[in-house]
Amino acid sequence: MQDIHLNKIAVDPVNLPIFSDNNISADVLRLDKIHPLISGNKWFKLRYYLDEAIQEGKKRILTSGGAWSNHILAAAAAGQLYGFKTTGKIRGEEPAELSPILQQAKAMGMELVFMSRENYGRERRFIEKKRVDLDSSKDLCAIPEGGCGIKGAEGAATILEHCTKENYTHICCAVGTGTMTAGLARGASLTTTIIAVSVLKNNPEIEKIIHALLPGSSYEKRIRLLHDYHFGGYAKHKPELLDFMNEFYRQTSIPSDFVYTGKLFYAITDLAAKKYFPTGSRLLLIHSGGLQGNSSLDKGTLIF
Ligand SMILES: *Cc1c(COP(=O)(O)O)cnc(C)c1O
């Protein structure tokens, strides 16, 4: 298993007329480059859980997620990289054919346990509370779904050690569980606004979740949660989004994924066109990875 390469993280300027015409600048922080499977923000959210598991001599990582979860894939790969056995509790009944992500997770040795949605909900809460299987729990490191916990947010805060954060007025990211958003708010300078683009259609809990991951309300005040760029919902897409991703790649050589970063980049260019950002704004867009998810699209859909 390939190691994590933090030294590959780059800050790429995005030279698009839509930004220069509006007197703003944008850079992309390329977390997608650190590892092909433990992609982007997932390693940052896992890192402190893994540190603790190593220190406490745990043998197995237990976590949960859906069949298309980048977190499950990252946990499976991290297990292989750091020498843990892994178990993934997977939401829903076992399908006739595993999703590409589950196939890869299984190939990396992850034990997959499929659960009905109802049982899954209960199990997920157990994992969150670390009340896992009492007999074996001293060997188990339980990581909440999506790395969504304080340790996950603290890990995500260290993303900003890989850029000069004071250079930016706005830090922009995609939102799934909200863990990365909370981490960026913890790690950013006090005057920075966090633009957080939700990729889910109905996500009424998200404010509460982010609140729980932050040490005080002064952090939340700096977050702008945007709910209008989900393109139909989680992992849904439209031709307009895929066309945009191709065009963005043509002009910047930066690839994106259709679940998260494509929607983020679309949102930010759309907001720039609508003059959302004040003149002189300097934006940092977080490329949180996820490119392997594009493999579920028909071949030839994307030009990269
Ligand atoms: C998981 C993921 C996100 C969302 O991160 P959260 O911390 O769950 O909000 C964003 N981008 C990519 C590529 C991801 O895989």
Distance 59 CA to ligand 1 centre (A): 26
Angle between helices 41-55 and 179-187 (to 10 degrees): 90
Model pLDDT, residue 187: 97
Task: Assess whether the C-beta atom of 294 lies below 6 angstroms from ligand 1.
Answer: no
Give the per-residue pLDDT at 138.
79
Q: Which atom number of ligand 1 is nearest to the Cα of residue 179?
A: 7
Where, residue-wise, is CATH 3.40.50.1100 in the chain?
A: 6-37+158-296, 41-147
pLDDT for 33: 97
- Residue 40 CA: which ligand 1 atom is closest? 13
Distance 290 CA to ligand 1 centre (A): 8
**Mutate which of 69, 213, 288 for ligand 1 pocket (most atoms within 8 A of beta carbon):** 288
**According to the model, what pLDDT value does residue 247 have?**
98
Which of 181, 179, 185 lies closest to 216, judged by CA? 185
| Ligand 1 near 155 CB (within 6 A) | no
Q: How large is the C-alpha radius of gyration of the chain?
A: 19
Rounded Cα–Cα distance for residues 179 and 214 (Å)? 10
Stated pTM of the model: 0.96
Q: What is the bridge-based pairing of β-strands 60-65 and 140-142?
A: parallel
The answer to whether the CB of 177 is under 6 A from ligand 1 is: yes
Across 229-244, b (16+ Cβ under 10 Å) vs e yields bbbeebbebeeebbeb
Tell me the C-alpha distance between 60 and 132, whole Å. Answer: 12
Looking at residue 134, its pLDDT comes to: 52
Which of the listed CATH numbers 3.30.70.20, 1.10.540.10, 3.40.50.1100, 1.10.390.10 matches domain 41-147?
Answer: 3.40.50.1100
pLDDT tens digit sequence for 17-56? 999 999 999 999 999 999 999 989 999 999 999 999 999 9
Say what angle helices 239-252 and 261-273 make with each other, to 10 degrees.
Answer: 80
Query: How many whole angstroms separate alpha carbon 283 and alpha carbon 274?
Result: 15
CATH for 6-37+158-296 is 3.40.50.1100
**Which residues of the chain fall short of a pLDDT of 50?**
none
pLDDT in the model for residue 135: 52
Q: Are 285 and 32 contacting, i.e. CB atoms less than 8 angstroms apart? A: no
* Residue 262 alpha carbon to ligand 1 centre in Å: 12
Q: Say if residues 108 and 76 touch (Cβ distance below 8 Å).
A: yes
Distances in whole angstroms, Cα of residue 95 to Cα of each of 104, 112, 254 = 15, 12, 34
- Cβ atoms of 37 and 292 within 8 Å: the answer is yes
Rounded to 5°, angle at Cα 173 from 30 and 152: 85
The response to whether residue 180 sits with its C-beta less than 6 Å from ligand 1 reads: yes
Q: What is the pLDDT of residue 4?
A: 96
